[in-house]
Amino acid sequence: MKRRNFLIKSSGVIGAGLALSSGVSGAQKLALAAGEEQDSGKIQVTPEYRVLGKTGMKVTTVSYGAMRTTDPAVLHRALDLGINLIDTAHGYQDGNNEIMVGKVMKERRGEAYVCTKIHPAPIDKMETMFEESLKRLQMNTVDILYYHNIKELDVLHNEDVLKLFNKWKKEGKTRFIGFSTHKNEAELLEQAAKDKAWDVILVAYNFKKTPQLTKAINAVAKAGIGVVGMKTQAGGYKDSKMGSLTPHQASLKWVLQNPNVHTTIPSMTTFEELNEDIQVMGQKMGRRDHDLLERYGQVIDPIYCRSCNACTASCRHGVDIPEINRCLMYVEGYGDFPLAMTNYAELSERENLSQCSRCSECAASCIHGIDLPNKIKSAMNIFA
């Protein structure tokens, strides 16, 4: 195979072909070389930048979701190719993800923005979590700190938490503050646009989401709030009906056709995934992309949860069905059982499957046609 040449045309934040630090192991160097020796032929990669709302941060439209990354060589390669924002969290891989990101960024200081997240918890616990995150990342300051996985307005409006985040901002421990959400997204974003209390929002957004969410994204962007898209691949499910085709590039293009989405953080674990995703920058949706998404949509319609929350009223005991389905997606779509178990463990007893033992038959129903009783049965087999 010929060496793959990546031609980076950049206006300037990060250039191509950066030399690897002597701190990279021999195995990692071999892995990096392998990443450059994929299929023959030249791939044109032109980094595309958007400004992340009022933060003023000029970020690549395809950034790096490190959540599932275990090989630092892939992250090094992403930085070489011009990606300039990395997303991690306190809970990813039981803290090992932040440690990996910290080691890479110690060698590549100043080449990328770093964002992390902490879950809702008592104030003293959140203080401990953030201090742990800074130590793992080997940083005194992160660029964005997110209040993680917010589901309800009352949690978002916790005044003590907002004071804490702003205190950290004043102390210089984080440059900007935000929140992330997988559920009730439109409602939360609509309120955030009015409150203007947060600098950035990380939101689950893809071609299966509602027009109401798109409208809410446009509203927060108009309010000067940065918008980061996650879950952009709508589960990334593999199916024989798709043949050799993958929906990943088309899915990213769909999200980025909205200029109010300033960047995206697809999860990338291999050089192949990185090479596929990064080529999307600067590309437009074409007829083939629309056809591919229509085909992929038909494949996932019976299984993919839109997190619209309409099903919750049909469950007599308040099981958090959208969150259960998200955990299932990590198994069925991502093939990542540890990630699924970690997220399931974060559900309270009131939200998890323990409530299902009270019913002889599942009455949950989905307005999009998903067979929820069967999905709950699958989840019981995996998690309960």
* Angstrom distance (rounded) from CA 19 to CA 24: 11
DSSP string, 300-322: HTTT------GGGGG-TT---HH
Write down the pLDDT at residue 44: 59
53: left (phi over 0), alpha (psi -120 to 50) or beta: left
Write down the pLDDT at residue 14: 34
Quick: pLDDT tens for 216-243. Answer: 999 999 999 999 999 999 998 887 777 7
* Angstrom distance (rounded) from CA 322 to CA 40: 42
Burial profile 281-311: b = 16 or more Cβ within 10 angstroms, e = fewer: bebeeeeebeebbebbeebbeebbbbbbbeb
Write down the pLDDT at residue 22: 32
* Angstrom distance (rounded) from CA 267 to CA 100: 15
Write down the pLDDT at residue 355: 87
Pairing mode, strands 263-264 and 58-60: unpaired
Write down the pLDDT at residue 43: 57
**Cβ contact 325:319 at 8 Å:** no
* Angstrom distance (rounded) from CA 350 to CA 120: 16
pLDDT in tens, the chain (384 residues): 332 233 233 333 333 333 333 344 444 444 444 444 444 335 557 899 999 999 999 999 999 999 999 999 999 999 999 999 999 999 999 999 999 999 999 999 999 999 999 999 999 999 999 999 999 999 999 999 999 999 999 999 999 999 999 999 999 999 999 999 999 999 999 999 999 999 999 999 999 999 999 999 999 999 999 999 999 999 988 877 777 778 999 999 999 999 999 999 999 999 999 999 999 999 999 999 999 999 999 999 999 999 888 898 899 888 999 999 999 999 999 999 999 999 999 999 989 999 888 888 899 999 999 999 999 999 999 997
* Angstrom distance (rounded) from CA 75 to CA 111: 12
Quick: pLDDT tens for 171-190. Answer: 999 999 999 999 999 999 99
Write down the pLDDT at residue 239: 79
Write down the pLDDT at residue 199: 98
Burial profile 147-159: b = 16 or more Cβ within 10 angstroms, e = fewer: bbbbbeeeebeee
Nearest 5°: phi and psi at 174?
-140, 140
Write down the pLDDT at residue 112: 98
Domain at 6-295: CATH architecture: Alpha-Beta Barrel (3.20)
Write down the pLDDT at residue 236: 87
* Angstrom distance (rounded) from CA 376 to CA 220: 34
Write down the pLDDT at residue 378: 93
Q: What is the pTM of this model?
A: 0.86
Write down the pLDDT at residue 241: 75
- Domain-wise residue ranges, the chain: 6-295, 310-383
